[in-house]
Amino acid sequence: MAQKLGTVVVKIGTSSLTDRATGDLKLAVIGGLAEELTHLRRLGWQVVLVSSGAVGVGAKRLGLTTRPTTLEGKQAAAAVGQGLLMSLYDRFFSFLDQPVAQVLLTRADLIERDRYLNIYRTLHELFALGVIPVINENDTVAVEELKFGDNDTLSARVGTLVKANWLILFTDVAGLYSANPHVDPKAQLIAEVGQVSAELDQLAGDKGSNWGTGGMVTKLEAARIATAGGITMVITDGGIPQNLPKILAGEAIGTKFLPQQDPMNSRQLWIAYGLVPQGKLLLDKGAVKAIQAQGKSLLPAGIQAIEGNFKAQSPVDLCDLEGNEFARGLVNYSSDDLSKLLGQKSGRIPEILGYEGEAEAVHRDNLVLLAMITD
């Protein structure tokens, strides 16, 4: 058994796997990817492949000329395409005697702790058996509210799950640019990003403006998750899988996002990025400051308004009065009860609610900072 070198998650998008105009599979890319991943595994890396393409490949097989737009349409195409995609990977990797395994996940699988741990154990068993897991979202069964919807964020969550060292996003551009490289000839490649800032979000454009299939918006969200989890992430050209060993050797190829110095633990990652927020708490300046700068819990006195219907212990977004989100946490009160406590001193809770509740609306232990708000 080769020495263990670390864990690498490689995500490849539909735009790198198929020809944009014809929808034909790019067999040389898939073959190259199989060679590189097999090689890395033999060297001693634990390797995970997150592959998109189910919907695109399925649509092509069904003779559709455009990608389906309805949820049912996409789910049906994914059901056709996933098998095809997997049979393709199985054949390519089999030529190299490298076993692969299909793992289909939904967001719900990563929310519930039992299911999360179960996936963790299965992936580790696959690593121990020398298998390369090939992961996709289980598009055919994922319901809208609990969908990742894109494999960029899915791959980042998988990266934190397996405690990866690297997350490589193969896409149809060479990295993150100062402007859209498809339309602006002056666009410059950004080689390294230390902090995924709000300015970078501006570069990526609106949610609707896609450069690749998933677009840069989801790639920056993936970068936030991955780097918060201590993972180095690289966005690079999916047409050249042969770059993979060079990237892992430290060569500057594509855009590299550096891991945070002080990464979140798995519970903090779960609160920040695993759960689906059920509401918003709008906080006054004093509360924002106490949480951001002084490491305090959130007391009901600092909450000016709430949005959404939620139960006690639900995940919620913590925002300033303009609605800018800066933290996430698990709230101690339901929206019904909390609405009666807005701006109130904690000492009055028993009198207002008729029971002895927690003094904090969100306890510090259940709270994760996501961004810094400055005046």
Shortest reach from residue 53's CB to ligand GLU, in Å? 5
User: What are the tokens at 144?
Assistant: 């809208």
- In SS3 terms, the chain reads as CCCCCEEEEEEECHHHHECCCCCCECHHHHHHHHHHHHHHHHHCEEEEEEECCHHHHHHHHCCCCCCCCCHHHHHHHHHHHHHHHHHHHHHHHHHCCCCEEEEEECHHHHHCHHHHHHHHHHHHHHHHCCCEEEEEECCCCCCHHHCCCCHHHHHHHHHHHCCCCEEEEEECCCCCECCCCCCCCCCCECCEECCCCHHHHHHHCCCCCCCCCCHHHHHHHHHHHHHHCCCEEEEEECCCHHHHHHHHCCCCCCEEECCCCCCCCHHHHHHHHHCCCCCEEEECHHHHHHHHHHCCCECHHHEEEEECCCCCCCEEEEECCCCCEEEEEECCCCHHHHHHHCCCCHHHHHHHHCCCCCCCCECHHHEEECCCCCC
Nearer to ligand GLU, 109 or 150 (CB): 150
Choose between 76 and 338: whose C-beta lies nearer to ligand GLU.
76
Specify the residue, 152 or 317, whose C-beta has the smaller distance to ligand GLU: 152
- How buried is residue 129: exposed, middle or buried, by Cβ count under 10 Å (0-12/13-18/19+)? exposed
Nearer to ligand GLU, 52 or 268 (CB): 52
Compose the 296-335 pattern: x for residues touching ligand GLU by CB under 6 A, - for all others. ----------------------------------------
- Burial of residue 68 (CB within 10 Å: 0-12, 13-18, 19+) is middle
Q: Among residues 204 and 298, whose Cβ is nearest to ligand GLU?
A: 204
Least distance (Å) from ligand GLU to the CB of residue 8? 19
- Which of 175, 214, 215, 300 lies at the binding interface for ligand GLU (CB under 6 A)? 214
Query: Between 52 and 165, whose beta carbon lies closer to ligand GLU?
Result: 52
By the rule CB under 6 A, 360 interacts with ligand GLU: no
The site map against ligand GLU for 66-105 (x = CB under 6 A) is: ------------x---------------------------
Out of 7, 14, 18, 38, the only residue in the binding site for ligand GLU (CB under 6 A) is 14
| Options 17-25, 46-54, 90-98, 232-240: segment touching ligand GLU (CB under 6 A) | 46-54
Contact flag: residue 54 with ligand GLU (CB under 6 A): yes
Using CB under 6 A as the binding rule, the residues of this chain from 105 to 134 that contact ligand GLU are none
CA-CA distance, 147 to 137, in Å (whole number)? 8
Please choose, out of 50-58, 122-130, 202-210, 289-297, the segment that lies near ligand GLU by the rule CB under 6 A.
Answer: 50-58
Stretch that binds ligand GLU, among 54-62, 156-164, 257-265, 364-372 (CB under 6 A): 54-62
Q: Which is nearer to ligand GLU, 107 or 256 (CB)?
A: 107
If one asks whether residue 213 binds ligand GLU (CB under 6 A), the answer comes out as: yes
CA dihedral 28, 32, 34, 35 (to 10 degrees): 140
Residue placing its CB nearer to ligand GLU in the complex, 55 or 288? 55
CB of 172 to ligand GLU, least distance (A): 11
Task: Report the nearest approach of ligand GLU to the CB of residue 38 (Å).
Answer: 22
Binding string, 131-160, against ligand GLU, x = CB under 6 A?
A: -----xx-x----------xx---------
Q: Which is nearer to ligand GLU, 56 or 238 (CB)?
A: 56
- Binding-site size for ligand GLU (CB under 6 A) equals 15
User: Which residues make Cβ contacts (< 8 Å) with residue 210, sequence separation at least 6?
Assistant: none
The residue ranges that bind ligand GLU (CB under 6 A) are 13-14, 52-56, 78, 136-137, 139, 150-151, 213-214
